[in-house]
Amino acid sequence: MNLNKYLDVNPEVAEAVRAGRPVVALESTIISHGMPYPQNVETALNVERIIRENGAVPATIAIIGGRLKAGLTPEEIEYFGKKGTAIHKASRRDLAVLCAKGEDGATTVTTTMMIAHMAGIRIFATGGIGGVHRGAETTMDISADLEELASTPVMVVCAGAKSILDLGLTLEYLETKGVPVLGYGTEELPAFYTRQSGFRVDYRVDSPAELAKIFKTQNDMALGGGILVTNPIPEEFSMPKAVIDAAIDQAIAECNEKGIHGKETTPFLLARVAELTGGDSLASNIRLVYNNAKLAALTAAEYCKL
């Protein structure tokens, strides 16, 4: 991949990768588009701290001034948090434009996977992946995250696909693309804010060591593509399914009425759901990210032992 001339790897991250020590990638869209300032910066720094406490080096990924960044400084995270939604939400199609124009970009799951892979980082923690949107049979609104999982060998640890999506079709799409969907301590796909979705994952896995062994085996076999690890939100922070479903249904109806589409859809829906739940969904979102960061760090540490 001839993108490395546009890549800057933080010295601490580069040294850890060279030495074979555990590193965990983090996305930056959650900072710029996921929550308001200063809560976004506080959350991002806490996630990095949790990764360090569990034995790995954090590498928050972003685009700054047209440079692909693998590992941000606290000052750069602060900059991203303050600038917020004024920063472009950058998927695969945006990379060349942003680099050529020397602009900033907040990386999605797709672009975080791409840049992590370029930097030699194998494990990535996020909140939830994108997927097949409700009504995609007519809108064709399908996240690029699914295509990236099919082609880029990075393990993504998440709390399932975002529950604003069509979870059944998202699983079907991942199956078609040959992406293994693993449930950490569960046989049921978690639905982001809640632990239950009514859909089954491909396999249940019960330890970071087992996750690492599966990923190492997939890489050794040169099967290509990533692995999706779905890690349920901790029970004490899980929201009642009926409450979150009602909020999502209302948010989607408002989104359609306003004619919002494309990359603006997910930020609008997540923000509106947070309003409709009195902020409970945002609090749950933060807790599930912390939970995923811990599991990703433990898995990265186990992977480095293999």
Residues 158 and 96 in one domain: no
CATH number for the domain that contains residue 161: 3.40.1790.10
Q: Are strands 105-107 and 57-64 parallel, antiparallel or unpaired?
A: antiparallel
Cα–Cα distance, 264 to 249 (Å, whole number): 17
Is 29 in contact with 106 (CB distance < 8 Å)? yes
Please check the confidence at residue 1 and state whether its pLDDT lies above 70: no
Neighbours of 137 (CB within 10 A): 10
Residues 79 and 174 in one domain: no
Cα–Cα distance, 52 to 74 (Å, whole number): 14
162 as an active site residue: the answer is yes
Please check the confidence at residue 284 and state whether its pLDDT lies above 90: no
Mean local confidence (pLDDT), 193-198: 87
For residue 190, say if its preceding peptide bond is cis, omega within 30 degrees of 0: no
Q: Please tell me the least confidently modeled range out of 73-82, 103-112, 269-278, 281-290.
A: 269-278
Q: What is the pLDDT of residue 2?
A: 57
Q: Tell how far CA 303 is from the center of its chain.
A: 19
Residues 9 and 145 in one domain: no
Residues 184 and 220 in one domain: yes
Listing DSSP states for 52-80 in one string gives HHTT-EEEEEEEETTEEEES--HHHHHHH
pTM: 0.92
Q: How confident is the model at residue 157 (pLDDT cuts 50, 70, 90)?
A: very high
Percent of the chain with pLDDT over 90: 73
Residues 201 and 263 in one domain: yes
What contacts 109, CB < 8 A, 6 or more positions away? 27, 124, 126, 129, 130, 143, 145, 148, 156, 158
Residues 89 and 233 in one domain: no
Please check the confidence at residue 104 and state whether its pLDDT lies above 90: yes
Mean local confidence (pLDDT), 170-174: 96
Give the CA dihedral 286, 87, 229, 60, nearest 10 degrees. -80
Write the pLDDT tens digit of every residue in 216-269: 999 999 999 999 999 999 999 888 888 878 888 888 888 888 988 777 777 787
Q: How confident is the model at residue 136 (pLDDT cuts 50, 70, 90)?
A: confident
Q: How confident is the model at residue 3 (pLDDT cuts 50, 70, 90)?
A: low
Mean local confidence (pLDDT), 190-209: 93
Q: Please tell me the least confidently modeled range out of 113-117, 141-145, 176-180, 229-233.
A: 141-145
42 as an active site residue: the answer is no
Mean local confidence (pLDDT), 93-108: 97
Residues 116 and 143 in one domain: no
Catalytic residue among 69, 89, 162, 294, which?
Answer: 162
Mean local confidence (pLDDT), 140-152: 93
Q: Tell how far CA 96 is from the center of its chain.
A: 21
Which of 173, 54, 75, 64 lies closest to 125 in space, CA to CA?
Answer: 54
Mean local confidence (pLDDT), 158-170: 88
Residues 151 and 300 in one domain: yes
Catalytic residue among 27, 48, 78, 302, which?
Answer: 27
- Residue after which a domain boundary falls, among 121, 147, 168: 121
